[in-house]
């Protein structure tokens, strides 16, 4: 289980790296050697998994228990939209890659797993960015885990994106683009 301190430390390091532009926006957790993706271009995108999601400091079920039925429904709709926007981000940045709509024997599998969401908030005087942290696993067509990366996106809150759902969708699309950049880097050697 990730600790709050560990999440905060990785957030600070990730944001600092992005701001400086000195490193890729992913952290390699596991990487197959030799690179199995060289000259491979087919990737099936699974739906986003969120089975062990933390929202702020709370497990998702605990977070939702304090919300009204309408807020719970809105949260579920936002999560569903994140799935769509993540895939759109991967495909929009994935020039040269193919994304079949169904798994096939030659396609690697992208398994996005959302681990952490900070919904953030917007107020005229003070606001807090929306953050989404994801683990992305890339599996062989057989289902064997080959690569895993950690990625994070932070979307600032403003009067132009005051709703947290809007920022969650923007973060998901951003994470999709980062995933595509990783796949292009691994498949182009």
Q: How far is CA 124 from each of CA 7, 127, 159, rounded to the nearest angstrom?
A: 27, 7, 8
Q: What is the pLDDT of residue 21?
A: 61
Distance CA 13, CA 75 (A): 28
Evaluate if residue 189 carries a pLDDT over 70: no
Contacts of 26 (CB under 8 A, 6+ apart): 136, 149, 150, 151, 178, 181, 182
Question: Does residue 10 belong to any structural domain of this protein?
Answer: no
pLDDT at residue 159 in the model: 87
Residue 83, in any domain of the structure: yes
Within a domain: 115:
yes
CATH code: domain of residue 151: 3.30.160
For residue 16, is pLDDT > 60? no
pLDDT for res 180: 97
User: Residue 18 domain-assigned?
Assistant: no
**Is there a domain that residue 1 lies in?**
no
Task: Tell me the pLDDT tens digit for each residue of 103-155.
Answer: 889 899 999 999 999 999 998 888 899 999 999 999 999 999 999 999 999 99
Query: pTM for this one?
Result: 0.85
Is 122 inside a domain boundary?
yes
pLDDT band of 12, cuts 50, 70, 90: very low
Mean pLDDT over the full length of the chain: 88
CA torsion 170-155-98-84 (nearest 10°) is -30
Tokens of 102: 């169904």
141 assigned to some structural domain: yes
Kindly tell me if the per-residue pLDDT of 5 is higher than 90.
no
The tally of domains found in the chain comes to: 1
ω into 34 cis (within 30 of 0): yes
User: Which residue range(s) make up the domain with 180?
Assistant: 24-187
**135, 104, 132, 101: which is closest to 118 by C-alpha?**
132
CA neighbor of 175 nearest in space, from 152, 155, 148:
152
Is residue 5 a part of any domain in this protein? no
Between residues 85 and 16, which one has the greater pLDDT? 85
């Amino acid at each position: 289980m990730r600790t709050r301190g560990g999440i905060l430390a990785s957030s600070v390091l990730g944001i600092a790296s992005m701001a400086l532009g000195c490193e890729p926006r992913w952290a390699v957790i596991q990487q197959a050697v030799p690179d199995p993706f060289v000259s491979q271009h087919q990737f099936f995108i699974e739906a986003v998994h969120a089975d062990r999601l933390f929202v702020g400091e709370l497990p998702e079920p605990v977070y939702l228990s304090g919300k009204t039925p309408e807020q719970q429904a809105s949260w579920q709709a936002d999560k569903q939209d994140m799935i769509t926007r993540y895939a759109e981000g991967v495909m929009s940045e994935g020039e040269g890659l193919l994304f079949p709509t169904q798994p096939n024997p030659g396609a690697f599998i992208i398994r996005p797993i959302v681990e952490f969401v900070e919904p953030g908030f917007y107020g005229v005087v003070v606001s807090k960015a929306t953050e989404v942290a994801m683990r992305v696993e890339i599996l062989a067509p057989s289902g064997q885990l080959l690569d895993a990366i950690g990625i994070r996106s932070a979307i600032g809150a403003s009067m132009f994106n005051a709703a947290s759902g809007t920022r969650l969708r923007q973060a998901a699309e951003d994470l999709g683009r980062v995933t595509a950049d990783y796949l292009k880097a691994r498949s182009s050697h």
